[in-house]
Chain A
């Protein structure tokens, strides 16, 4: 039995703040549950009070007000008396967030994110009530892999159907390992912090299907919430098929790359990508055949197995020139514009960098969020949309991304290590009136065809796509003008 069904007393949930945990032990007259973030920090701390199948939501509500709200509700017997920002009627035993009509919740369809902001992340009873901890038949798992694609750049099977790689691992020599990669993408960290059992359900089902002897959850040391919650969830997870280790890796962006993740887990003090082929599915963690999947991929797998059908959703985080970033879950038929609708843009949208740090730039948001549509538009599929408002300068933006790539690469291969340095120089030269579009194009092409890992493969994408979509802005900069008026040191061209 879960606490949601407590007959008369209101149940309060506090989402998105560590303070919820403290309140739990306080003398509030009701059950106070600390739940994970909803993925929409703009409304957090989000306090919800539930009584008899009705929940009132209080956005940006200091947790200290919980007590007052609870006594108001308890006295009047109705959640609306506490003056909530939104009210939702739902099944009294609801195990998923009853989606309120608040900014950030208007789009999509939360299935992978259903637990976020509703269930206590590491409480097994909450997860069990939601149908979790199932023990799906390995054959069903392998079958699901024929229709499910990997999500995120930290996934060894990004955008590819999973079954083939799973087969390689299952048939490989040695005991297999499954690595949950929660590093590098806000949604992956959100799931580890807010719905770790969903992720572990996917990971354990997969571990059983490929006979894995080791299960490792990997996240950035900077995402403390994700690391701690995953640790707690790992110890409370009932009957895992293999011991679950949780490893915090260095916070660098490149550390999410699947082979660098393995290097970090193995404890190499210097972070460098591994040569491939053979990839980790043949020779991975300590030489074992290893699957590296993101939290999102594994949570999607868990949901697919539970529902008996594919959850055709995409978890997307919108950031950039917005009041607050938000992580939303869209149907694959939804568009980037739908994702952007979930946030409050500061000004009007000029462009978006879609698909990770090294995503593609586009003016057109009328692009579907499924991998085919995104790839066809030269955009990335990492599940992020960085909004650029009208007063942002695209040339400056891609210059910064290039410099980030030059500073953040592992240093192993020439096209990336030296290529990003030259790319940065070529972009800087635009300010000196030297606009070599062909040179940038050529360099970006070679980085993409010959870099050792996807860091270098993608590092040139922001510049290349911006060149195509914002040609005139580059030309203007070469003439010493910044149309957005943002470049602090406009070129002085003689």
Chain B
């Protein structure tokens, strides 16, 4: 940080970040609790969810909890609903986000809960490009694990397998490849990028079946985004949707000429070698003398005073507040 920035009253770095997700309340119990899971009493600390209880014992039936991450403050997003369990008190609830209230009685084997887990896992698979043999995450994919554990042989709604409808692979970044046809929309990457790395690159966008992972800068491709290639998003991704470029085919079954990229329809490739620094720099925020855009978007007019013309900050130090890729940095 430059000296002239120090005294400026900057907003929290997250202020200008727009992940496109709802502002969820904190989940978890208000205090220590004891719950009964399939007949076994489990004592839990304050802030626990039913999934903590379920994971602490040998349950009657396997609870997949596919979208759950549970580290680094990421999640629960509670979107896949493959973790449904029955409670005597509240009926069928998602274990990953339901607070472990004292005295709850949980049954994993209840018919309605088992049915919900089963159908929801099949629903996840219905929108998934299940070409595991050409996927870099083969063998270390949480969706694969969940499907194997649940004994899925033929998902009742089939799998997403129509080449015309595939979203093109985004292989434009030298570091991370995106295959949205494998994304389960667990939101981990978005939270890793925004809340952990505080980079503000990824977001959830669209609605209905058009819901997808996109970029806060409205960029179309990873290469055009403001990504700093830290790789955290790929680290937390449970499927082959985000993979570090070096290992996109690390675990694919070697069939000559058959790769992840050509197993689907189109691929957006990198446009030649990138000159200049490895990691594209973000443009510093324009000051009040600039177009005022960044200040508006951040709801804040803080400025560092050094870029009076709002030009890109050639030192590569991101200004505080919102990112503005502007589309014109090198």
Asked whether, in the complex, the Cβ of B22 is within 8 Å of the Cβ of A449, the reply is no
A432 contacts partner chain B, Cβ-Cβ < 8 Å: no
Asked whether, in the complex, the Cβ of A449 is within 8 Å of the Cβ of B207, the reply is no
Among the listed A268, A269, A425, A450, which residue makes an inter-chain contact with B120, where contact means beta carbons less than 8 Å apart? Answer: A450
Among the listed B22, B80, B115, B156, which residue makes an inter-chain contact with A275, where contact means beta carbons less than 8 Å apart? Answer: B22
A419 contacts partner chain B, Cβ-Cβ < 8 Å: yes
Asked whether, in the complex, the Cβ of A274 is within 8 Å of the Cβ of B23, the reply is yes
B286 contacts partner chain A, Cβ-Cβ < 8 Å: no
* List of A residues within 8 angstroms of B77 by Cβ: 275
Asked whether, in the complex, the Cβ of B207 is within 8 Å of the Cβ of A411, the reply is yes
B81 contacts partner chain A, Cβ-Cβ < 8 Å: yes
Task: Name which residue of chain A comes closest to B186, CB basis.
Answer: A414
Task: Name which residue of chain A comes closest to B66, CB basis.
Answer: A414
B27 contacts partner chain A, Cβ-Cβ < 8 Å: yes
- Distance in Å: Cβ of A341 to nearest Cβ of chain B: 38
Task: Name which residue of chain B comes closest to A259, CB basis.
Answer: B22
Interface magnitude class on chain B: 35 or more
Asked whether, in the complex, the Cβ of A278 is within 8 Å of the Cβ of B25, the reply is yes
Task: Name which residue of chain A comes closest to B204, CB basis.
Answer: A270
Task: Name which residue of chain A comes closest to B81, CB basis.
Answer: A450
Stretch of A62-70, A301-309, A401-409, A473-481 with 4 or more beta carbons under 8 angstroms from chain B: A401-409
Report how far A271 CA is from B206 CA in the complex, Å: 9
B208 contacts partner chain A, Cβ-Cβ < 8 Å: yes
In chain A, positions 242-289 with a C-beta closer than 8 Å to chain B are 259-260, 263, 266, 268-278, 282-283
Report how far A269 CA is from B297 CA in the complex, Å: 12
Report how far A425 CA is from B99 CA in the complex, Å: 35
Asked whether, in the complex, the Cβ of B99 is within 8 Å of the Cβ of A270, the reply is no
Stretch of A1-9, A79-87, A201-209, A437-445 with 4 or more beta carbons under 8 angstroms from chain B: A437-445
* List of B residues within 8 angstroms of A439 by Cβ: 156
Asked whether, in the complex, the Cβ of B120 is within 8 Å of the Cβ of A277, the reply is no
Among the listed A271, A274, A442, which residue makes an inter-chain contact with B115, where contact means beta carbons less than 8 Å apart? Answer: A442
A367 contacts partner chain B, Cβ-Cβ < 8 Å: no
In chain B, positions 7-27 with a C-beta closer than 8 Å to chain A are 18, 20-27
A378 contacts partner chain B, Cβ-Cβ < 8 Å: no
Among the listed A263, A412, A419, A425, which residue makes an inter-chain contact with B23, where contact means beta carbons less than 8 Å apart? Answer: A263
B104 contacts partner chain A, Cβ-Cβ < 8 Å: no
Asked whether, in the complex, the Cβ of B208 is within 8 Å of the Cβ of A450, the reply is no
Report how far A477 CA is from B126 CA in the complex, Å: 25
Asked whether, in the complex, the Cβ of B209 is within 8 Å of the Cβ of A421, the reply is yes
B78 contacts partner chain A, Cβ-Cβ < 8 Å: yes
Asked whether, in the complex, the Cβ of B25 is within 8 Å of the Cβ of A422, the reply is no
Among the listed A270, A414, A420, A449, which residue makes an inter-chain contact with B92, where contact means beta carbons less than 8 Å apart? Answer: A449
Asked whether, in the complex, the Cβ of A414 is within 8 Å of the Cβ of B206, the reply is no
A213 contacts partner chain B, Cβ-Cβ < 8 Å: no
In chain B, positions 201-235 with a C-beta closer than 8 Å to chain A are 203-211
Task: Name which residue of chain B comes closest to A262, CB basis.
Answer: B23
B114-146 interface bits toward A, Cβ cutoff 8 Å, 1 = contact, 0 = none: 011001100110110000000000000000000
Report how far A207 CA is from B210 CA in the complex, Å: 39
Asked whether, in the complex, the Cβ of A409 is within 8 Å of the Cβ of B27, the reply is no
Asked whether, in the complex, the Cβ of B99 is within 8 Å of the Cβ of A415, the reply is no
* List of B residues within 8 angstroms of A420 by Cβ: 208
B240 contacts partner chain A, Cβ-Cβ < 8 Å: no
B84 contacts partner chain A, Cβ-Cβ < 8 Å: yes
* List of B residues within 8 angstroms of A160 by Cβ: none
* List of A residues within 8 angstroms of B80 by Cβ: 413-414
* List of A residues within 8 angstroms of B116 by Cβ: 415, 446, 449-450
B61-95 interface bits toward A, Cβ cutoff 8 Å, 1 = contact, 0 = none: 00000000000000011111110100000011010
* List of B residues within 8 angstroms of A421 by Cβ: 126-127, 209
B235-275 interface bits toward A, Cβ cutoff 8 Å, 1 = contact, 0 = none: 00000000000000000000000000000000000000000
* List of A residues within 8 angstroms of B76 by Cβ: 275
* List of A residues within 8 angstroms of B127 by Cβ: 418, 421
A214 contacts partner chain B, Cβ-Cβ < 8 Å: no
B294 contacts partner chain A, Cβ-Cβ < 8 Å: no
Asked whether, in the complex, the Cβ of B21 is within 8 Å of the Cβ of A270, the reply is yes
* List of A residues within 8 angstroms of B126 by Cβ: 418, 421-422
Asked whether, in the complex, the Cβ of A411 is within 8 Å of the Cβ of B81, the reply is no
Asked whether, in the complex, the Cβ of A442 is within 8 Å of the Cβ of B119, the reply is yes
* List of B residues within 8 angstroms of A407 by Cβ: 208-209
Task: Name which residue of chain B comes closest to A410, CB basis.
Answer: B207
B174-200 interface bits toward A, Cβ cutoff 8 Å, 1 = contact, 0 = none: 000000000001000000000000000
B45 contacts partner chain A, Cβ-Cβ < 8 Å: no
Asked whether, in the complex, the Cβ of A449 is within 8 Å of the Cβ of B91, the reply is yes
Asked whether, in the complex, the Cβ of B210 is within 8 Å of the Cβ of A411, the reply is yes
B21-45 interface bits toward A, Cβ cutoff 8 Å, 1 = contact, 0 = none: 1111111000000000000000000
A154-175 interface bits toward B, Cβ cutoff 8 Å, 1 = contact, 0 = none: 0000000000000000000000
Report how far A479 CA is from B79 CA in the complex, Å: 38
Asked whether, in the complex, the Cβ of B123 is within 8 Å of the Cβ of A414, the reply is yes
Asked whether, in the complex, the Cβ of B22 is within 8 Å of the Cβ of A268, the reply is yes
Task: Name which residue of chain A comes closest to B299, CB basis.
Answer: A267
Asked whether, in the complex, the Cβ of B25 is within 8 Å of the Cβ of A443, the reply is no
A417 contacts partner chain B, Cβ-Cβ < 8 Å: yes
* List of A residues within 8 angstroms of B98 by Cβ: 277
Report how far A425 CA is from B209 CA in the complex, Å: 13
Asked whether, in the complex, the Cβ of B78 is within 8 Å of the Cβ of A275, the reply is yes
Report how far A450 CA is from B185 CA in the complex, Å: 17
* List of A residues within 8 angstroms of B97 by Cβ: 275
- Distance in Å: Cβ of B193 to nearest Cβ of chain A: 16
- Distance in Å: Cβ of A415 to nearest Cβ of chain B: 5
With known contacts A417-B208, A449-B92, A422–B23 Cβ distance under 8 A: no
Asked whether, in the complex, the Cβ of B84 is within 8 Å of the Cβ of A450, the reply is yes
Asked whether, in the complex, the Cβ of A274 is within 8 Å of the Cβ of B123, the reply is no
* List of B residues within 8 angstroms of A283 by Cβ: 25-26
A102 contacts partner chain B, Cβ-Cβ < 8 Å: no
Asked whether, in the complex, the Cβ of B81 is within 8 Å of the Cβ of A409, the reply is no
B309 contacts partner chain A, Cβ-Cβ < 8 Å: no
Among the listed B92, B112, B157, B208, which residue makes an inter-chain contact with A411, where contact means beta carbons less than 8 Å apart? Answer: B208
* List of A residues within 8 angstroms of B115 by Cβ: 442, 445-446
Report how far A303 CA is from B324 CA in the complex, Å: 53
Report how far A153 CA is from B119 CA in the complex, Å: 26
Asked whether, in the complex, the Cβ of B205 is within 8 Å of the Cβ of A270, the reply is yes
Among the listed B20, B23, B120, B207, which residue makes an inter-chain contact with A414, where contact means beta carbons less than 8 Å apart? Answer: B120
Asked whether, in the complex, the Cβ of B81 is within 8 Å of the Cβ of A412, the reply is no
* List of B residues within 8 angstroms of A451 by Cβ: 81
Asked whether, in the complex, the Cβ of B22 is within 8 Å of the Cβ of A415, the reply is no
Report how far A419 CA is from B157 CA in the complex, Å: 10
- Distance in Å: Cβ of A357 to nearest Cβ of chain B: 14
Chain B contacts to A: CB under 8 angstroms:
18, 20-27, 76-82, 84, 91-92, 94, 97-99, 112, 115-116, 119-120, 123-124, 126-127, 156-157, 185, 203-211
The 10 sampled A-B contact pairs (Cβ below 8 Å) are A266-B23, A274-B23, A274-B24, A276-B25, A277-B27, A278-B99, A414-B123, A422-B157, A445-B112, A449-B84
Closest 9 CB pairs of A and B: A411-B211, A283-B25, A418-B123, A270-B20, A446-B119, A275-B24, A272-B22, A274-B22, A450-B81
Further contacts, 8 of them, CB under 8 A, given A415-B119, A421-B126: A277-B27, A408-B208, A413-B81, A415-B81, A415-B123, A421-B127, A446-B120, A452-B81
